[in-house]
Structure 1
Amino acid sequence: MSELILASQSPRRAELLSTMGYRFTVITADIDESPLPDELPEHLVLRLASSKADAVWQTSLPSITTDTAVLAADTIVVANQTILGKPKHFADFTRMMRLLSGSTHTVMTAIACRNSAMSEAQVVTADVQFCTLTERDIARYWDTGEPKDKAGGYGIQARGGQFVQQVHGSYSAIVGLPMVETKLMLQKFGVYA
């Protein structure tokens, strides 16, 4: 059975992977996550996940074996064709929440895996419908501290879930790691829970 490295500092991804029964080591990737000019959201999230897997693979050589697989993921939120990253400050967060309020947005999570013989990546999307938010909802949620490290400024698995009216697609992809697709991809790399 192959050894698994998770190229992510996200505690949510690690928790989902553990819940699935996998044993793994965490090594974080340090890459530039800035979008390229005119880059489409799907291309961005695929590029970021693949770059994280490649970066960890390269920095871990030669200490890893040919049986080692590196799994990486990246999540973005897209509203009105605008990519919403992690909020930089309260004003940025408020802008994001106003965009999401009372509307449906798309969450894209890309997963990428590589070993010495091959690499693969795919995007899983889900649509999320938000209720209408008041200015007080927005300010109180910011004050919890939760939005500061979340793509799109909210965590569906925590307090941010109170704003979600409906989900169409993979819930675990919204959290940060699509469980079904991850399991199927890891099996191709000889990694089993």
Structure 2
Amino acid sequence: MEANAPHFKLILGSSSTARRKILADMGYHFTTMSADIDEKAIRKEKPEDLVMALAEAKVVVYEGVVREKPSSEAEARQFMKDYANGHAATVSSVLVTNLVTGSRRGEWDKVEVPLLISSQYSISRQIYFHDIPDQVIDKLIEEGIVLYAAGGLIIEHPLILPYVKEVVGSTDSVMGLPKALTERLIKEVL
């Protein structure tokens, strides 16, 4: 991307490793700054409104209930066990602000994530999991990273990858930064 390097400075307002990787994979050079806010203090009834309010967040909705970052190891364990038996969706948002002009664009993106033991294909943007063994869940909790992920859901983690049966749709959206949406919003604010 050096020959076509953008003529603007890009700041990622998130400390998420996954979001940094996605943006770097898109060819952008950027710095990161994340707000030190209490995400739990910001409440909205609809997940789509919540992620826009947080402006850097991803939430997981399981059986109609918003699941943010697990509050404990026990909650993380329960989240991961549940996913083999139910239906979840990730809801992400992207908010792009041009700090020179003040132009601002944002949207949310939702990915349906039915987590089932199944060999069937389904509609787009879905993920199928094999049952995740207790010893894998134990290792993930011991490592601690699931405590910092919405719904304890980290499909890109090497310990989880063997149990992902099928991803149909946008993995980058599940990871919290949908590439196509991000690219479009950047162009809109320039």
Correspondence 1:127 to 2:112: yes
Q: CA deviation at 1:134?
A: 4.5
Q: Deviations over 1:5-46 (max 9, x none)?
A: 111111211111111111112111122312656611111011
- Among 24, 27, 31, which residue is 1:21 paired with? 27
User: Aligned Cα RMSD in Å?
Assistant: 2.0
Q: Given that residues 124 and 173 in structure 1 are in contact (C-alpha distance below 8 angstroms), is that contact kept between their aligned partners in structure 2?
A: yes
Number of the residue aligned with 1:9: 15
Which deviates more from structure 2 when the two are superposed, residues 148-157 or residues 126-135?
A: 126-135
For 2:156 and 2:43, locate their aligned partners in 1 and report how far apart those are by CA, in whole Å.
32
The structure-2 alpha-carbon separation of the partners of 1:178 and 1:152, relative to structure 1 and needing over 3 Å to count, comes to: same
- Hey, what's the Cα distance between the residues in 2 that align with 1:2 and 1:38? 33
Give % identity: 28
Q: How far, CA to CA, are the matches of 1:2 and 1:155 in structure 2?
A: 31
**TM-score, normalising length: structure 1:** 0.76
The Cα of 1:118 is off from its aligned counterpart by 1.8
- CA deviation profile, 1:107-165 (whole Å, cap 9, x unmatched): 11100011233211111111222333454443343234331211111311112233333
Q: Which one scores higher on RCO, CA 8 angstroms, separation ≥ 6?
A: 1
Residue 189 of structure 1 pairs with residue 172 of structure 2: no
C-alpha distance in 2, partners of 1:123/1:94?
Answer: 27
- The 5 A counterparts of 1:137-156 are 137-156=136-155
Q: Hey, which of these two has a bigger chunk of helix by percent?
A: 1
Pairs aligned (count)? 167
In the alignment, structure 1 segments of 5+ residues that lack a partner are: 50-72
Distance 2:131 2:78 in 1: 14
Amino acid at match of 1:102: N
Which of the residues 86, 93, 96 maps onto 1:110?
93
